[in-house]
Amino acid sequence: MNTAELIVELLEDVGVRYIFGIPGGAIEDLNIALHQSDKIMPVVTKHEEGAAFMADGYARVSGRLGVCCATAGPGASNLITGLACSQADSIPVCAFTGQVATSVFGKGALQESGSEGINIAGIFCKFTKYSGMLINEKRAQYMVQKAFRLAISGRSGPVHLSLPSDLMKKTVTKGGHPNRQPPACFFDRDEVKAAAKILIRARRPVLIAGWGVVLSRGADELQKLAERLNIPVATSPKAKGIFPESHPLSLGVLGFAGSTLTKEYIIEQEVDVLLAVGTSFNEMMTDGWNEQLRPSHHLIQIDVDAEEIGKNYPVTLGLGGDANTVMQEIGYAVNRALNVDDAGSCMRNPSPFLEIRDLKAKHIVSSVSEVTDTNRYNPGKLVRDLQQSCPADTIFFADMGNTMAWAIRHMVIDRPYSFFMALGFGAMGYAVAAPVGAKLAVPDRPVVAMVGDGSFLMNGFEVATAVNYKIPVVWVVFNNAMLGMVYHGRKLFKQPIPEGLPSSFERVDFVKIAEGLGARGIRLDGSTPISSNLMEDIFTVGRPTVLDVLIDEEAVPPIHSRIRTVDKHF
């Protein structure tokens, strides 16, 4: 076999089923090898950024490795924003990019992007866990397997290999080294015991579950631990729904667009012990590093990456390790200390259940802000209607912009692994392409993307990719003919910001765009609301569908905390 065929076999060995990308001269050898594979289906996208987002969406939803590829030069550089999103949210994605033959390095070949030209492998080092260029076909298996191991293990993330075309053609022999992936389930027993003791004695503790709980697939352990400790749970915005939001111990989302009850419970009242699991205390979770988030006695922080522990708030106890494993071990230690079995739970007085119940009654989200124009859909109502009209197992994606804020504030997510945003890097257009990869990972679940019109205009041609492969994603476009977050953000500053780079633009007809791309397009507004019948029809017909929803552009989104942070820190 040649090196390209070896790479495809190695992909097959780790169970890869899809590769997202766009072909080009420098990556034709990989293309030929893929043609011979009956296990891997290539998905050719309309832009490489879409390919990287789809690989990310596939990995984010399935927990498995996502794979994308591009040709040399601009093909490779178009992957950058996608891989940067994966890096910021620790998503395991492997990217392969083409490369001109090593024999012409430095001579000015078209799209040359090796160490003598625009150094793609070097550029990618800055936003991946590992980026390398194949230097010898005899080291190909080592480098590919190393890349896979790094992507999936420890704090997962994207990796990249640049593949010079001459090396792809060399004859190689596959070595007998299976790709072993050691699970990251380490923990420190003494620290676990110490944490259990503190948590049992805590008077008014709170658990904050972050994105690390999602990455470690820790929803079950989280719920068990919360119930055993009788401890209220808030999530970061990105981890929304990892703890069922209707659970009597749920406080909802803390931070950006989060619930007002969470803020009252955690920020405005005393918390003596804070257990932070898989959260880095970033800007969006902490409302700009609010000092009042500090607990009065103990901050216990669990993270797979030691770099995060104590980074933004001083900890009294830092536990390295995978969130799922450490929570499980704390659960055992609590049981042993209380001398109870799995069914036992830690009594607390006053009962957090009662306090949360009363707060929930007080903070019932009143039926969203005023409607200025009756024909325009209030976006808060839109996200609620959408959720109520979709099956319970629907997976939702939310894109950057006000859309995301409305969704965080008004949706109630009770099923873990059902609500996704790329909030780390915060790229507009992510939720246009990523859901296509996600749908391939979970073909039996409905996948719905909530996208602002500005974001849709960035990557909307990927609807044609979904049409091409009959991947029935539903995009709900929040059509306000503007970059709404910019518009409202400017207005909400103490000193309103003028419109030098205007936030509004001519309204676009997304029904026509959808139809032009081969998808189904449906227009809705406030007088034709989303209904269960409509959504059922869309899911039954099973075509990629764009809902072009005219929303009230003056409805003020819940983005005030972000504006305060920008005002104070930037």
The residue from 66, 379, 424, 484 that contacts Mg ion (CB under 5 A) is 484
Residue nearest to ligand TPP (CB): 452
Nearer to ligand TPP, 289 or 425 (CB): 425
Type of residue found at 38: D
Whether the CB-CB separation of 258 and 411 falls below 8 Å is answered with no
- The residue at minimum Cβ distance from Mg ion is 452
Measured distance CA(7)–CA(22) in Å, rounded: 17
* Residue 402 and residue 379 in contact, taking contact as beta carbons nearer than 8 Å: yes
Q: Which is nearer to ligand TPP, 24 or 452 (CB)?
A: 452
CB of 404 to Mg ion, least distance (A): 11
Smallest separation (angstroms) from ligand TPP to the CB of 482? 6
**Paired sense of beta strands 273-277 and 298-303, if any:** parallel
Considering only the stretches 337-345, 422-430, 473-481, 532-540, report the one whose residues sit in contact with Mg ion under the rule CB under 5 A.
473-481
Q: Is residue 452 a contact point for Mg ion (CB under 5 A)?
A: yes
C-beta closer to ligand TPP: residue 151 or 257? 257
* Options 480, 503, 561, 565; binder of Mg ion; rule CB under 5 A: 480
Identity of the residue, 215 or 483, whose beta carbon is nearer to ligand TPP in the bound complex:
483
Kindly report the number of other CB atoms within 10 A of residue 364's CB atom: 8
Cα–Cα distance measured from residue 330 to residue 191, given in angstroms and rounded to the nearest whole number: 9
Rank residues 96 and 377 by Cβ distance to ligand TPP and give the closer one: 377
3-class state of residue 550 by DSSP: strand
**What is the binding site for ligand TPP (CB under 6 A)?**
400-403, 426-428, 452-455, 478, 480, 482-486
Instruction: Give whole-number Cα distances, 482 to 99, 178, 429, 461, in Å.
Output: 40, 52, 15, 19
Instruction: Specify the residue, 210 or 380, whose C-beta has the smaller distance to ligand TPP.
Output: 380
Q: Is 460 in the site for Mg ion (CB under 5 A)?
A: no
The entry of Mg ion, ligand TPP, none that residue 389 binds, CB within 5 to 8 Å by partner kind: none
Q: How far is CA 110 from CA 32, 71, 107, 380, in A?
A: 21, 11, 9, 50
Pick from Mg ion, ligand TPP, none: which does 400 bind, CB < 5 to 8 A by kind? ligand TPP
What is the distance between the alpha carbons of residues 260 and 234, in angstroms, rounded to a whole number? 12
Contacting Mg ion (CB under 5 A), which of 48, 112, 453, 552? 453
Q: At a CB cut-off of 8 Å and minimum separation 6, what does 417 contact?
A: 61, 214, 217, 219, 241, 242, 395
Find which of Mg ion, ligand TPP, none residue 402 binds, CB within 5 to 8 Å per kind. Answer: ligand TPP
Q: Which does 244 bind (CB under 5 to 8 A by kind): Mg ion, ligand TPP, none?
A: none
Give 286 or 402: the residue with its C-beta nearer to Mg ion.
402
Helix (H, G, I), strand (E, B) or coil at 568: helix
How many residues interact with Mg ion (rule CB under 5 A)?
5
**Per-residue CA distances from 503 to 15, 126, 459, 483 (Å):** 45, 31, 18, 5
Min. distance of Cβ 483 from Mg ion in angstroms? 6
Distance of CA 228 to the CA centre of its chain: 29
Nearer to ligand TPP, 136 or 372 (CB): 372
Q: Which residue type sits at 5? A: E
Beta carbon nearer to ligand TPP, 83 or 486: 486
Least distance in angstroms from the C-beta of 409 to ligand TPP: 13
Q: How far is the CB of 401 from ligand TPP (least distance, A)?
A: 3
Our CB check for ligand TPP shows the closer of 24 and 557 to be 557
- Of these partners, ligand TPP, Mg ion, none, which one is at the site of residue 278 (CB under 5 to 8 Å by kind)? none
If one asks whether residue 454 binds Mg ion (CB under 5 A), the answer comes out as: yes
297-307 residues labelled b (16+ CB within 10 A) or e (exposed)? bbbbbbbbeee
Q: Smallest distance, Å, CB 479 to ligand TPP?
A: 8
| Cα separation, 426 vs 422, whole angstroms | 6
Over the window 237 to 276, marking each residue x when it contacts Mg ion by CB under 5 A and - when it does not, the resulting string is ----------------------------------------
If the CB atoms of residues 338 and 371 are measured against Mg ion, the closer one turns out to be: 371
Q: CA angle, 49 as apex, 48 and 54 as ends, to 5°?
A: 95
Return the biggest CA–CA distance within the chain: 75
Question: Tokens 């009654």 appear where?
Answer: 361
320 binds Mg ion (CB under 5 A): no
Cα 325 to Cα 331: distance, rounded to the nearest angstrom: 10
Could you tell me which residues come within 8 angstroms of residue 521 by beta carbon, excluding any fewer than 6 positions away? 510, 511, 512, 513, 514, 515, 545, 546, 548
Pick one of ligand TPP, Mg ion, none as the site partner of residue 426 (Cβ within 5 to 8 A by kind).
Answer: ligand TPP
Residues that bind Mg ion (CB under 5 A): 452-454, 480, 484
